[in-house]
Structure 1
Amino acid sequence: MAVEQTPDPLERATRALRDEPDAGWIEVSQAVMSRVRTLVMPASVVITFDEVGSSERGDRGSIVRVSGRVLTPRLREAVDTPTRAADSVDIEVADDRCTAIHLGLVCVYGADLQQEGRDARAAAASVVHELLGRDPAFDPERDITVEIVDVVEGDPHTQ
């Protein structure tokens, strides 16, 4: 790279830096992002139940578990509608059983917030029953809590 000779060394350095390609930063950025993508976030596993409330399956007493990495996005997807968005989805697990689900919602201004909460709880309960089955100790009315954390004008998903 040819640098035009000027009497001012600061000007020469500035020109040299401006002419330098940014490819190095792109490579560094890609390397960092590829390493970040390999990080594994810890996830709890949750026991599933059959239609009669038993966690054991088959003659050998097998137990089927579902990862929190599967449950959380499905819950988030189920509660998201045009009038509400999941701000947070937290699952509590004790002894490999789902003991509570806490939903934080952002709702659109003017929506019936109580109805949004009831609908979000029902949607979350549906996902729990679909993925985990009928845990006799889990009561959606008691164990799924819903908190409206914000009310916004416009699309709640972009806030």
Structure 2
Amino acid sequence: MAIGDYDVLARASRALRSAPEPGWAAIEQRVLDAVRAAPRGGWPIAVHDPAPDTAPGRIRVRAPGRIRVSDLVLRTLIARRVTEDPDVALVDVEVTLDGETLRTIDIEVSGRFGSDLPRAADRVRAIAHAVVADAIGADDVVVSVAVTDVHR
């Protein structure tokens, strides 16, 4: 099975659902909890410190440490903020990195039928820029927003 071969996965899922495993009901919640608790790796994004070595009480060092934020954290922060907008439903958030430098954010949303979709996309873009500025201090990240569907 190739990566992204969702038809095969869908057929297998249907087959497995049609023949439930004996005893599954007794362990289902524990399995789901274990999957949810499993650590997920993410790609590190460098945080921009606008004024290094200026924190109160900090001793100057020759090689200061570096702070990084996982792309999973950044994507989650963006997703939480975007879901507050009543005119859009989030579909996906993808980031593109160059090493540890965030280059682009691609956001896909579904727009509410009858709403001003260009304005909604502008709000989503502004939200993403605000989250990036707050989380990693970058202001040169390209954010693209695609409205790929409409909903009621």
TM-score, normalized by the shorter chain, greater than 0.5: yes
Task: Tell me the secondary structure at the aligned position of residue 62 of structure 1.
Answer: coil
Which residue of the partner structure matches residue 86 of structure 1? 90
Q: CA deviation at 1:110?
A: 0.9
Which residue of the partner structure matches residue 115 of structure 1? 119
Alignment of 1:25-44 (within 5 A): 25-44=24-43
Q: CA deviation at 1:27?
A: 2.1
Change (3 A) 1:124 1:26: same
Q: CA deviation at 1:38?
A: 4.1
Q: CA deviation at 1:41?
A: 2.8
Distance 1:106 1:100 in 2: 20
Q: CA deviation at 1:68?
A: 1.6
Q: Which amino acid aligns with 2:123?
A: D
Is 1:67 paired with 2:70? yes
Which residue of the partner structure matches residue 6 of structure 2? none
Alignment of 1:8-157 (within 5 A): 24-51=23-50, 59=61, 60-80=63-83, 81-134=85-138, 138-139=140-141, 143-153=142-152
- TM-score by structure 1 length? 0.68
Distance 2:33 2:90 in 1: 28
Q: CA deviation at 1:30?
A: 3.1
Task: Tell me the secondary structure at the aligned position of residue 38 of structure 2.
Answer: coil
Q: CA deviation at 1:43?
A: 0.9
- Over the matched positions of the two proteins, sequence identity in percent amounts to 24
- RMSD of equivalent CA atoms: 2.4
- Measured against aligned partners, the alpha-carbon deviations of 1:7-49 in whole angstroms (never above 9, x if no partner) come to xxxxxxxxxxxxxxxx933223234324423433331110010
- TM-score by structure 2 length? 0.71
Distance 1:126 1:117 in 2: 14
Distance 1:134 1:123 in 2: 14
Do 1:51 and 1:134's aligned partners in 2 also have CA atoms closer than 8 Å? no
Distance 1:30 1:109 in 2: 37
Gaps of 5+ in 2: 1-21
Q: CA deviation at 1:132?
A: 0.5
